[in-house]
Amino acid sequence: MRENSPIRHDVSRLTEEDIYLFKQGNHFDLPDKLGSAMMEVEGEPGVHFAVWAPNARTVSVIGDFNDWDPDSHPMAVRHDASGVHECFIPGVPKGTRYKYHINSQIGGYKADKADPFAFYWETSPHTASIVWDLDYQWNDAAWMENRRDKNGFASPISIYELHLGSFRRVHQDRYRSLSYRELADHLTDHVLRAGFTHVEFLPVMEHPFFGSWGYQTLGYFAPTSRYGTPQDFMALIDRLHQNGVGVVLDWVPSHFPADGHGLSYFDGTHLYEHADPRRGYHPDWNCYIFNTGRYEVRAFLISSALFWLGRYHADALRVDAVASMLYLDYSRRDGEWIPNIHGGRENLDNIDFLRRLNEMTYARFPDTETIAEESTSWPMVSRPPYLGGLGFGMKWNMGWMHDVLRYFSRDPIFRKYHHGELTFGIWYAFTENFVLALSHDEVVYGKGSLIRKMPGDDWRRFANLRLLYGFMFGHPGKKLLFMGGEFAQWQEWNHDAELQWELLDSPPHQGVLQWVADLNAVYRSEPALHQRDFKAEGFEWVDFRDAEASVLAFLRRGKDPDDMVLVVLNFTPVPREFYRVGVPRPGMWRELLNSDARPYGGSGLGNAGAVMAEAVESFDRPYSLTLTLPPLGAVFLRPA
C-alpha cells in the first residue's frame, strides 16, 4: 500500500495566526488544527497529520498504510519555531491505526507515540490512535436551547455519579460492560425512575488502565473505545438530553500517567510535564504533573475542556484533584517541593491556569458549569477571578461530607455529644457554591458502602440511610450521590463488577430507591429547596440546640415569600411525640415527605398527612406545630 500513499508537505491546516495564538497559550481550538483530520486536497481524499514536538530531530507517521515503517512517511517541521511537524497523506481511510515515530534531538531517544489530539484510540492494551471524524446528527436542540435553566444556580441539580464500566454487565456475553448505546437505554430509564436531574460520568477520556477508573487520562480528546465509538458516546449524551437529563464529565488536568506511548517525555524532553520531579511527578498516583507554566500546555488543556463542552454537548465539567494543583507541597515532605518565587507554597502557574480555564469556559459556554473537587479551605474557589477567586461555578463540599458521615457512623446513644458535626457546616455553607457529594471516594478501599457505615441492626441501618438522604436534600447545596447508594447497595463499589441489581427484588431496597425518587421529586418541585441553595436568605434555623433529643429543625425559603419548607429531623431511634416546632405562619402545614412511611420500609409513624399551626409562640415565632417525629426520621412540611 506504500506506493499508493505518497506524502505532501505543502498542505497545512495551520495559519500564522494559529501559530501565534498557540505559542501565546491562547489557542483553544487546537483539535481543529493538530492531530489527524480527513480532508480532500485537489480532489484527492486523505489525512492531514500535525503534531507538536519541538525537540524532535524528525517525526514520521507510521500506521496500517505503511506497515508501520518509520522511514516511509516523514513529516516536515514548520519554519516558524513552533515545533509543529505536519504532512498530508492521500488515500488514508477512516479507521486507519497510526502513531508518530519520534526521533529526538536529545540523547538518541526514539519512541512511537499515540496522537495527543486523536478523537479515537485502540482499546487497551493496544495503544494506537485511529483516524476518525466526529460527524453526528444531534437531536437535543430543545435541551441545548434551554439548558441555562437546567444548569443555573437557582435550578434543582441532583447528580447521579457513575462509572460506565461497572454500572451494569451483560451476563450472557462474558460479563462485559454495557456499550454506550446500551447504556443509553438502561441508564436513562434508571435515572428517570430515581428522579435525578443530571448524571456525572467518572472520566470517559481514554485511559490505559481500567483500574484507574479513568483518572489516569491519556486521550484528552477521545472517549474510551471500551464502550464504542465517539458517535456512540454522543448518542448516549443525546438520549439523556432528549429525556431532560444533564451530563457532567469528570476531567483531569492535574496529572497524567507515565505510559511510554503517551504524553510523558514526548519528544525526548519533558514537554508536557515539569522536568524537576519536585514539580513534575506526583508520588500519590505515580503520575506526571502538567507544566501549565508552558503556554502550549495551557492551550492543550483548555482546548480539551472546551472540546467536551462543545463537540460532545456536555453541560458541566467536574475538575478532579484541584487541591493537588493549588499547593506545591501537596502530599510532599520537606525537601520534596520547590517554593514559588515569593517563597510560598501556592502553585502560581496552576492558579493562573485555572482562572483562565474558567474565564474561557464561561465566555464560550455561559450555560454550562465547572465544578471543583477541592478538599481544602482555599478561599473563593467558586468566586469570579475579577474578585480574586478561581472562577469555578461550584465546589464539592468535602467538609460537610466528612462531618456528616462521621456523625452518622456513631451509635445514636452518643450522638447528642456530637451535635455540632451536623450544625457546623451551615456556618460556612454560603462561602462557596457547594455541591453536597456522597461520591465514589466514600465507598471504596475498605470504607464500605453507605449503608454499611450506618450503625445498628438492618432496620436501623435502612432508617439511618433514609435519614441521611433526607438531611442532604433538605440542606442548602446541590446534591450528588454515587451509583448503588440510591438503593442501598450492601457491597463496597468494585469497578470489576456490576451493581447489586438483584437487591431491588427486596422491599427495603425498593423502599430506599422510592425514597430517593420522592426526595428528588420534591426537591425539583419546591423552589424553597433549590432556588437559594447558595444564599443565606434561603436558610433559617428553627432549632439547632436540642442536642439532648438529637433533633434539628430548619426552614428553607425560595425567592417568593410564600415558598417555604420546614425540615425536621430526629437522629435517634426514639419516637418524639408532641414535639413543638415554631413556624412563621398559621394554617395547615402539609406533610410533603416522611422517611418513616411504610412504602419506604419505615414503621408508618407520622402526622397523618398534615398538621394545623397553633397560635402558640415557640422559638420566637408566633405559631407552632405539634409534631410526631418518627424514629430516625426526616419530615418535610410546607404551608398548605
How confident is the model over 315-347, as pLDDT tens digits?
999 999 999 999 999 999 999 999 999 999 999
Phi/psi region, residue 106 (left: phi>0; alpha: psi -120 to 50; beta: rest), is beta
Residue pair 569/548 in contact (Cβ under 8 Å)? The answer is no
Residue pair 102/59 in contact (Cβ under 8 Å)? The answer is yes
Is pLDDT at 2 greater than 50 in this prediction?
no
CB atoms within 10 A of CB 79: 6
Give the model confidence (pLDDT) of 237-268 as tens digits.
999 999 999 999 999 999 999 999 999 999 99
What cell numbers appear for 71 in the block? 522511514
CA 631/CA 581 separation, integer angstroms: 17
Query: Residue 603 carries which side chain, given as an amino acid letter?
Result: S
What pairing do the DSSP bridges indicate for beta strands 110-113 and 97-104?
antiparallel
Residue with grid cell 446500551, as numbered in its chain = 182
In angstroms, what is the C-alpha Rg of the chain? 27
Q: How far does CA 115 lie from the centroid of its chain?
A: 25
CA 550/CA 571 separation, integer angstroms: 5
Residue with grid cell 487497551, as numbered in its chain = 124
The 3-state secondary structure of 49-96 reads EEEECCCEEEEEEEEHHHCCCCCCCECEECCCCCCEEEEEEECCCCCC
E-strand ranges in 390-457 read 394-396, 434-438
What cell numbers appear for 63 in the block? 500506521
3-state helix, strand, coil in the chain (%, to 5): 30, 25, 45
- Return the H-helix or E-strand segment holding 181: helix 180-194
What cell numbers appear for 391 in the block? 472562577
Q: Which residues pair with 162 in a beta bridge?
A: 201
Domains and CATH numbers, the chain: 2-130 (2.60.40.10), 201-211+232-392 (3.20.20.80), 536-639 (2.60.40.1180)
CA 364/CA 310 separation, integer angstroms: 9
CA 140/CA 313 separation, integer angstroms: 9
Residue with grid cell 427486596, as numbered in its chain = 506
Residues 6+ apart with CB under 8 A from 201: 162, 163, 164, 247, 248, 249, 250
Give the model confidence (pLDDT) of 127-150 as tens digits.
999 999 999 999 999 999 999 999
E-strand ranges in 125-166 read 129-130, 158-162
Nearest of 239, 117, 114 to residue 187 by alpha carbon: 239
Angle between the 507-525 and 180-194 helix axes, to the nearest 10 degrees? Answer: 80
User: Looking at residue 284, what is its pLDDT?
Assistant: 87
CA distances 404 to 465, 469, 620, 633, Å, are 12, 11, 28, 16
User: Looking at residue 283, what is its pLDDT?
Assistant: 87
DSSP 630: P
Is pLDDT at 61 greater than 60 in this prediction?
yes
Given CA atoms 163, 164, 169, 173 in this order, what sign does their dihedral have? negative
Residue pair 168/176 in contact (Cβ under 8 Å)? The answer is no
pLDDT band per the 50, 70, 90 thresholds, residue 5: low
User: Looking at residue 6, what is its pLDDT?
Assistant: 87
Nearest of 187, 317, 160 to residue 243 by alpha carbon: 187
Is pLDDT at 536 greater than 50 in this prediction?
yes
Given CA atoms 9, 11, 15, 16 in this order, what sign does their dihedral have? positive
Q: Give the residue-averaged pLDDT of 476-498.
A: 98
3-state secondary structure of 130: strand
Buried b (16+ CB within 10 A) or exposed e, 168-198: bbeeeeeeebbbbbbbbeebbebbeebbbbb
Q: What are phi and psi of 63, to 5 degrees?
A: 180, -170
Longest dimension (CA), the chain: 94
User: Looking at residue 1, what is its pLDDT?
Assistant: 41
Q: Give the residue-averaged pLDDT of 186-212.
A: 98
CA 126/CA 208 separation, integer angstroms: 9
Is pLDDT at 4 greater than 80 in this prediction?
no
CA 305/CA 534 separation, integer angstroms: 25
- State the catalytic residues: 320, 373
CA distances 469 to 48, 436, 450, 462, 519, Å, are 53, 11, 11, 11, 8
Q: How far does CA 480 lie from the centroid of its chain?
A: 10
Residue pair 276/338 in contact (Cβ under 8 Å)? The answer is yes
pTM of the model: 0.97
- Percent of the chain whose pLDDT exceeds 70: 99
Phi/psi region, residue 25 (left: phi>0; alpha: psi -120 to 50; beta: rest), is left
CA 130/CA 115 separation, integer angstroms: 9
Residue with grid cell 405539634, as numbered in its chain = 626
Q: What are phi and psi of 567, to 5 degrees?
A: -115, 125
Mean pLDDT of the chain: 97
